[in-house]
Amino acid sequence: MNTETTLGVLMIVKNEEKHLAKCLESVFGWVNEIVIVDSGSTDSTLDIADKYQATVYQNLDWPGFGRQRQLAQSYMSSDWVLVLDADECISPELKASIQHIILNSDLDICYEVNRLTKAFGKYIHYSGWSPDWIVRLYPREKVAYNDALVHEKVVVGEGVRIKKISEGILYHDTYENLHHYINKTTGYLKAWTDQREGKKKSGLGTALLHAIACFVKMYFIKRGFLDGKHGFILAWLGMHSTFVKYIDLWLREQTERDK
């Protein structure tokens, strides 16, 4: 790596002792800094972060995913930012690609990586989950995340281009079991509704239409059936989650109207 151009890892975490070591192991020793903002871990997350020489800050007043990532980036000094979640890890091929970029690329390009996700013990190759191109490597001074409570995205500055990293995979180990899925998605669904309450209308018909469309898209259009039983399960769960978030939005409207 060019000693004049630096690379830092940005992470936001809470209670990630099951995954964090594997994630940090995939970047330890070849990045210049690891900055973690923790939102109140009660397990061994902070001990693991210390083992890998990460710089840890805590912010217990949860502002949403976008602003928490903004906070983490404000603590960084590296030229390049590599964003990771605790349940992700860098493949050796992706590591080599990133190192090549840091050596040779100008600081006016964002890079998308291809993420491959494992759900319920199986890697998902269809269902709209793969390929999954997401911006995760970018110049710190020109790019940052938006303010979204959930499903946050990077805001690309003027004159900044986006390219794909063709070699290497970002491995993502998401839902371990159904209980884990329910716990993880509950917060996402609430944040989605919080973000749209008062701004977006809903109803029973709207909820049903979006839910059915979600299943059709995942299972048929995105060929989830090629993921076998897992594809059907994910499409069904996606349909259920879509129905829940639109119904939650509608119920909030009704409650506000009846006051």
The answer to the question of residue 1 being in a domain is no
- The answer to whether 206 and 150 are in contact (CB under 8 A) is no
Question: Domain check: are 85 and 201 in the same one?
Answer: no
Whether 163 and 204 map to the same domain: the answer is: no
Instruction: Give yes or no: residues 53 and 127 share one domain.
Output: yes
In this structure, is residue 2 part of a structural domain? no
In a domain, 97, yes or no: yes
Q: Are 89 and 168 in the same domain?
A: yes
Q: Are residues 68 and 147 in the same domain?
A: yes
HSE toward the beta carbon, residue 99, CA cutoff 13 A = 12
**Is 150 found in the same domain as 137?**
yes
pLDDT of residue 157: 82
Backbone φ, ψ for residue 24 (5° rounding): -70, -30
Q: What is the pLDDT of residue 2?
A: 53
Tell me the one-letter amino acid at 231: G
Q: Which of 173, 188, 205 is the last residue in one of the domains?
A: 173
Q: Among the three residues 173, 208, 240, which one is the final residue of a domain in this structure?
A: 173
Residue 91 structural domain:
7-173
Do 139 and 244 belong together in one domain? no
Return the CATH number at 84: 3.90.550.10
Give the separation between CA 45 and CA 47, rounded to whole angstroms. Answer: 6
- Tokens linked to 123: 């890697």
Q: Which residue, chain included where needed, has tokens 């509704």?
A: 193
Pair (30, 135) in one structural domain: yes
Rounded CA separation 4/177 (Å)? 44
Q: Report if residue 81 sits inside a domain.
A: yes
Residues 32, 147 share a domain: yes
Whether 126 and 196 share a structural domain: no
Cα separation of 147 and 259, whole Å?
30
Q: Are residues 12 and 118 in the same domain?
A: yes
Q: Say if residues 236 and 127 touch (Cβ distance below 8 Å).
A: no
Last residue of a domain, one of 128, 147, 173: 173
What pLDDT shows up at residue 4? 87
Residues 6+ apart with CB under 8 A from 22: 89
String of b and e for 106-136 (b: at least 16 CB within 10 Å)? eeebbbbbbbbbbbbeebbebbbbbeeeebb
The answer as to whether 215 is a domain residue is yes
Check whether residue 152 and residue 183 sit in a common domain. Answer: no
pLDDT in tens, the chain (259 residues): 556 899 999 999 999 999 999 999 999 999 999 999 999 999 999 999 999 999 999 999 999 999 999 999 999 999 999 999 999 999 999 999 999 999 999 999 999 999 999 999 999 999 999 999 999 999 999 999 999 999 999 999 889 999 999 999 999 999 999 999 999 999 999 999 999 998 888 999 999 999 999 999 999 999 999 999 999 999 999 999 999 999 999 999 888 777 6
In-domain check, residue 71: yes
DSSP character string of the chain: --TTS-EEEEEEESS-TTTHHHHHHTTTTTSSEEEEEES---SSHHHHHHHTT-EEEE--S---HHHHHHHHHHT---SEEEE--TTEEE-HHHHHHHHHHHHH--TTEEEEEEEEEEETTEE--STTTSS-EEEEEEETTTEEE---SSS--EEEPTT-EEEE--S--EEEE---SHHHHHHHHHHHHHHHHHHHTTTS---HHHHHHHHHHHHHIIIIIT-GGGGHHHHHHHHHHHHHHHHHHHHHHHHHHHHHHT-
In this prediction, residue 3 carries a pLDDT of: 60
pTM of this structure: 0.94
Integer distance in angstroms from the first to the last C-alpha of the chain? Answer: 61
Provide the number of structural domains found in the chain: 2
Cβ-based neighbour number of residue 10 at 10 Å: 25
For residues 36 and 11, the answer to whether their CB atoms sit within 8 Å is: yes
